[in-house]
Chains A and B, each alone.
Chain A
Amino acid sequence: MRLNRENSGARWRMRPDGPDKVTGSLAYLTDLTAPGMLHGLVLRSPHPHARIAAVRTDAARRLPGVAAVLTGRDVPGLNRFGIARQDQPVFCEDRVRYVGDAVAAVAADSLESARRALELIEVEYEPLPLLDDPEQALRPEAPPLHPEGNVLHAKTYRTGDAGPVFASCAHIVEETYRTPRQMHAYMETEGGLFVPGPEGGLTVYAPTQHGRMDRLQLSRILAMPEERIRVVSSPIGGSFGGKDELNVQPYGALLALASGRPVRIHNSRRESVRAGLKRHPMIIRMKTGTDANGRILAHRVSIVADTGPYASLGAEVLNFATEHAVSAYRFGCVDAESVSVFTNNGMSGEFRGFGGNQAVFALEGQMDRLADALGMDPWEFRRLNLKTADEPGPFGQPIARTDGAAKAWAALAGSRLWRERSAVRTPQAEVPLASSSAAADARDAGTALRRRIAADSAAPVSAGGEADPPWRKIGIGAAMVMHGAGLGFGIPDPSGGRLALRQDGKIEAAFGFEECGQGLIATLEQMMIERFGFAADDIRIVIGDSDAVPDSGSSTASRATSMMWRALGLLERPFTEKLLEAAAKACGRPSRLLGLGEGGIRDLETGERIVAYEALAGRQKEPIVCEAATRYPAADTDIVGAHFLYSYAAVAAKVEIDGLTGRVRVLEQFHAVAAGPVMNPQGYLGQIEGGSAMALGYALLEEAAMRRGQYVTNNFDTYLIPTIADAGGPVEVAAIEDLPEGDEHGPRGVGEIGSVGLAAAIASAVRHAAGAWIDRLPIDPALLQEARPFEKAAVIGDE
């Protein structure tokens, strides 16, 4: 189904959190203030690698208005954090390993005093040798950044010895791909309000993707039982993986407890860039060979990931990248070896796509190059090597059976955009020059604007037409994506939810998930309405408050929608029965004649309302509550990180290259996504469109550049994310909803998959348009600039 408002009918719903968002009345956690509040700031290292010889805080402490100055000595519990491995210091005591490393923190009664106090803290550093290149950091002579050395994690997956197989290949393609450090660039920087309780407890209001994980981590740092910490963690002004790990929470919490007063922290963008996570830069080498007919016989992969100074989720990201460097293709022999390396660069960590973005860019690059070597149609070449529904997953593990790959492939093959490809030829130099072909002046009722955003009414832009200047080139490319969801084998992945009829008559759905903007609240509300028949008004959604929700696990890894669906499925019978039994008691009719409906319990036959939920609630001594515990399904394997549920996407992009500037513009996109039934059409569409804009930035614009361990792109003036002018072309999203009969896993999440494939499709389109193979992102315009006629002449003249 082509996903849009028209095709979704009544299933296209207004989000419950919408009105507060469009009026500006929604209080984000970084908007909160409290009476008597202090302002917190963190002192971070100016050096990417140095020994700390001394820290002197006396002068800062003496400054009027300063309520607390903290260093490593003031951490009552574990002076470390990390979701998977606790190796990142809250405060560094003897050594700093990147420019975001914290050394001290202050709280003062004004931001101004806090700033002055930071300046008064004296830290003596003795710079240490810098390790800013992951390959250098792997050399035996490199100084170790941690006692165990510079390897955070190594992953090997080998089905056999590829060496001899390559000898029998008819075509071999070998390439090294490099991907950039991408910034999440959520619009709301990290921050929050930290309020000490009257009896030594603490309430944390700070965005995170997993409130209960923050609570656990804070309890370790503060040496305080989890029950005394309440974490309020939604709403969130964007996260994309970047706020899953702790950021300012340890500092806010420690300062609030030390001063006994509420403390507010809200990072500047500069500080957010400096301290925050980024997508792992990777160097991916691939050697892939086929027989003469195009069947892949061997695939060798080596990945070096720059994980920065501490672990965060670097190991898990590497496992994911390795798995998705294999993806959905049938390789005779796979030999993959990956390593995640500590450096003194910025922190890398979780980011939407989780290592798949890098791997798919490389893998799809191989597919295009091999097809080219074979003289085959690139899409046909993929079909030839795609696994069928019954074959195992990338690590040879059993996976849930779906036809997603074949269906996504076929949807793209039949798309208008892909069929247009054969008509597109790069323009001939002889084509006469003419003025721009933009149909800009149709000035009625947004016609031109509609054309700009709607694929079906897009004016076909055929290159080589009379209107095209010779330096304008058009190309269409495509990529396949397979994306695992859930945390994977070997990582506990519990979830659950709770339904209750509360005293006030509201049906309360409580989940430990977070609203990052993805529309989780809307999706949950829609599931409650469609599954149970409640009206929106009957429902109260409770999320994002560790005191009020059950453990659902993190809102990450495209897992929340799946887990809500699964939990509601488990709760449907018991909760319905309890409500109907209570209603039967109340009205004296047998419960089998009753059913749930809008506003209350109804007579199944007549549809007439028998008892309103409010009245029903009023008759109960105790609220009616059902809780479900479940877990994300995992593969039956022994390979850590291997997934069980996958979604698939086929992505096509049409680009225009200006040969004078080398600039690439994406004119149109097509996404076929096979991820099971669509729970919330608006949310689904938004995830694919939004994710793909991120991939567009990844392909063309974004790089958090570092020089000698220092960020050189510190804000949106130099770190460019797509604007409306960059991302304004039509995006068609086709949702492939079917699942095999008997599938019990329901909707697969789509939070990440939209962000994965477009970069590879753009690279493919660039090759189609200009003949250049792209092996590095973001694409360097200089590569695509043609020599000007006079320069050509000059070169010839030189010869």
Chain B
Amino acid sequence: MNDDTDLGAPEAEPLWESTVNGRPVRLRVPQAKRLLDIVREDLGLTGTKRSCEIGRCGACMVLLDGAPVNACLTMAYQCAGRDVVTIEGIAGEEELHPVQRAFLEEGGYQCGYCTPGMIVSVKALLDAIPDPSPEEAEEALSGNLCRCTGYGGILRSVLRAIEKGRGGS
């Protein structure tokens, strides 16, 4: 949590209760506060990025009950009582998630600004479809813009993550 935490929020604000990265969170925030601002400002989880704020780039992608959503379009009341996972909650206690390892090995990132959102989307994709067709992968990831890589490294990372999922290298 950073110093920006809304500790002084007036009592009048409703209590927002959710699970974020496996931990229960209780905050007083306006109903219409964006999930993006809750995680970045109130919880200090800055791995979730802000880029377009209109649901077009995927830099702010988080999992809501396991499904990828744009945190910039999700308001507090829409995710109250639900399970939120941000990039900070993707890795296991000891080890990185296989998708994260795949990105490291294949170099599926450059500046890294799209990477948290991209990894969240890839994880959601492979959780739902462990061996996606090109069309399924493109469909699932076309909401995540990357300006640096041209997506080659990202596709190779997805491929490697698929192989890892099958017990490959």
**A residues within 8 Å of B by Cβ?**
5, 12, 14-15, 17-28, 31, 33-37, 184-189, 235-238, 240, 266, 268-269, 438, 440-441, 443-446, 448-453, 516-519, 682, 685-686, 689-694, 696, 715-717, 721-725, 727-728, 731
Tell me if B28 counts as interface (CB < 8 A to partner A): no
**Residues of A contacting B131 with CB < 8 Å?**
443-446
Closest 6 CB pairs of A and B: A24-B47, A517-B111, A693-B150, A21-B112, A237-B113, A24-B87
Chain A residues contacting B47 (CB-CB under 8 Å) are 23-25
Complex alpha-carbon distance, A723 and B155, angstroms: 12
**114-134 of chain B: CB within 8 A of chain A:** 114-116, 119, 131-134
Q: Please, could you name 12 A-B residue pairs with CB atoms under 8 Å apart, sorted by A?
A: A5-B105, A18-B109, A21-B112, A24-B47, A186-B147, A446-B163, A452-B155, A516-B111, A686-B149, A717-B52, A724-B142, A731-B150
B20 at the interface (CB under 8 A from A): no
A682 and B52 in contact, given A237-B112, A449-B132 (Cβ under 8 angstroms)? no
Nearest residue (CB) in A for B86 is A24
B88 with A453: CB separation less than 8 A: no
The answer on a CB contact under 8 Å between B153 and A724 is: no
B37-55 vs A, CB cutoff 8 Å, 1 = contact: the mask equals 0001000011111111110
B45 CB, nearest partner CB in chain A, Å: 8
Contact indicator A23/B88 (Cβ below 8 Å): yes
Contact B119 A236 (CB under 8 A): no
Query: Known: A21-B112, A690-B149. Contact between A35 and B54, CB under 8 A?
Result: no
B148 within 8 A of A: yes
Q: In whole angstroms, how far apart are the Cα atoms of A137 and B138 in the complex?
A: 45
How many Å lie between the Cα of A238 and that of B113 in the bound state?
A: 8
Q: B138 — nearest CB in chain A belongs to which residue?
A: A725
**Which listed residue, A235, A441, A443, touches B111 by the CB 8 Å rule?**
A235
State which residues 152-169 of B face A: CB under 8 Å: 152-156, 158-159, 162-163, 166, 168
State how many angstroms separate the Cβ of A735 from the closest Cβ of chain B. Answer: 15
Does A21 contact B149, Cβ atoms closer than 8 Å?
no
Tell me the smallest distance from the CB of B42 to a CB of chain A, in Å: 12
**Measured CA separation A723–B140 after assembly (Å):** 11
Given contacts A22-B104, A22-B109, A721-B145, contact A187 B155 (CB under 8 A): no
A22-B119, A24-B48, A517-B110 known; A692 vs B104 contact (CB < 8 Å) = no
**Chain B residues whose CB sits within 8 angstroms of the CB of A728 once the complex forms:** 134, 138, 151, 155
Least CB separation from B149: chain A residue? A690
B25 within 8 A of A: no
> Closest residue of chain A to B113, judged by CB?
A237
Nearest to A237 among chain B residues (CB) is B113
**Least Cβ distance of A155 to chain B in Å?**
30
Complex contact A188–B113 (CB within 8 A): yes
Q: Which residues of B contact A518 (CB under 8 A)?
A: 110
Q: CB-defined interface of B82-106 with A at 8 Å, one 1/0 digit per residue?
A: 0000111011000010001001111
In the complex, chain B residues whose CB is within 8 Å of the CB of A694: 147, 150
